[in-house]
């Protein structure tokens, strides 16, 4: 028979755990996690929301995006609204004057409108965060609204930041904002861009929008402890209803 001996030192149950290095949690790490591991991203958001960081990215990109497309979007908007009752009441000379102004927007006006577009987009994302946070709480989630704002802000990055960067060269090439879509509407060739069917496809079939919704659903599951069904319902139903308002 053999006998084993220990070290002879008493065990200390109160000894600290071995040191574990902190997990990297910078902004660019989170941005990379959005592509490679949404669950890891939302775990970091749950521990430290930092809701303003993705919002600031959206704000800056929307300013630049609006500045660049404004000489295309402004006259196109006038052309689209030309058949409305209000615009039909406008004399042809006045319409041509407005059209010329849309083609030659002063730099100061472009700056003001671009910054305004950035602010409005950021505010819209924050409002959406409060609305979805409310629905998540009603569905039984353990909701903290700073976390809800951060989750929805990261969910908005594919929609407003990445989506804008992808669409920008297409808009510049086609010289049209309304006819550019990254989603089901792109398959509807020959359909009038302002028709109800095309607008419905562009609104509900946009790939970047679904990417953003997926991120928010993962966030509600990981951070608020919700099941997949309640999380999806809390995200998709309010989004579908709110998107129907401008579509209508």
The better pLDDT of the pair 42, 248 is held by 42
Instruction: Provide the percentage of residues in the chain whose pLDDT is more than 70.
Output: 88
Q: Give me the residues paired with residue 206 across strands.
A: 183
CA torsion sign, 110 to 115 to 126 to 209? Answer: positive
Least confident range from 9-23, 61-75, 106-120, 171-185: namely 9-23
Over residues 194-207, mean pLDDT = 90
8: pLDDT confidence band, cut at 50, 70 and 90?
very low
43: pLDDT confidence band, cut at 50, 70 and 90?
very high
- Spacing of C-alpha 246 from chain mean position: 17
Q: How far apart are CA 58 and CA 75, in angstroms?
A: 25
201: region left, alpha or beta (phi > 0 left; psi from -120 to 50 alpha): alpha
- Tell me what the pLDDT averaged over the chain comes to: 88
For 53-76, the DSSP string reads: HHHHHHHHHHHHHHHHHHHHHHHH
Model pLDDT, residue 173: 95
∠ CA 243-130-31, rounded to 5°: 85
183: pLDDT confidence band, cut at 50, 70 and 90?
very high
97: pLDDT confidence band, cut at 50, 70 and 90?
confident
Q: How far apart are CA 215 and CA 219, in angstroms?
A: 6
Model pLDDT, residue 188: 83
Over residues 183-212, mean pLDDT = 89
Residues 6+ apart with CB under 8 A from 233: 139
Q: How does pLDDT run across 105-137, given as a tens digit for each residue?
A: 999 999 999 999 999 999 999 999 999 999 999
């Amino acid at each position: 028979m053999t006998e084993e001996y220990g070290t002879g030192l008493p065990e200390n149950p109160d000894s600290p755990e071995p040191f574990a290095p902190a997990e990297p949690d910078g902004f660019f790490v989170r941005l990379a996690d959005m592509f490679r591991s949404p669950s890891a991203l939302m775990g970091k958001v749950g521990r430290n929301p930092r809701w303003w960081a993705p919002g600031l990215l959206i704000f800056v990109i929307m300013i630049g995006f609006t500045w660049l497309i404004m000489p295309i979007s402004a006259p196109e908007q006038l052309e689209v609204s030309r058949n409305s009752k209000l615009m039909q009441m406008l004399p042809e000379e006045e319409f041509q004057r407005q059209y010329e102004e849309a083609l030659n927007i002063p730099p100061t006006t472009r700056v003001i409108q671009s910054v305004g577009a950035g602010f409005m987009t950021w505010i819209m994302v924050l409002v959406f965060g409060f609305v979805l946070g409310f629905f998540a709480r009603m569905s039984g989630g353990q909701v903290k609204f700073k976390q809800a704002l951060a989750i929805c802000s990261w969910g908005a990055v594919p929609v407003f930041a990445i989506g804008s960067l992808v669409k920008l060269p297409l808009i510049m090439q086609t010289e049209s904002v309304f006819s550019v879509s990254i989603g089901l509407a792109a398959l509807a060739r020959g359909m009038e861009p302002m028709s109800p069917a095309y607008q419905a496809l562009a609104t509900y079939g946009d790939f970047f929008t679904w990417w953003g919704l997926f991120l928010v659903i993962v966030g509600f599951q990981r951070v608020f402890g919700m099941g997949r069904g309640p999380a999806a319902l809390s995200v998709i139903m309010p989004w579908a209803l709110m998107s129907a308002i401008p579509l209508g």
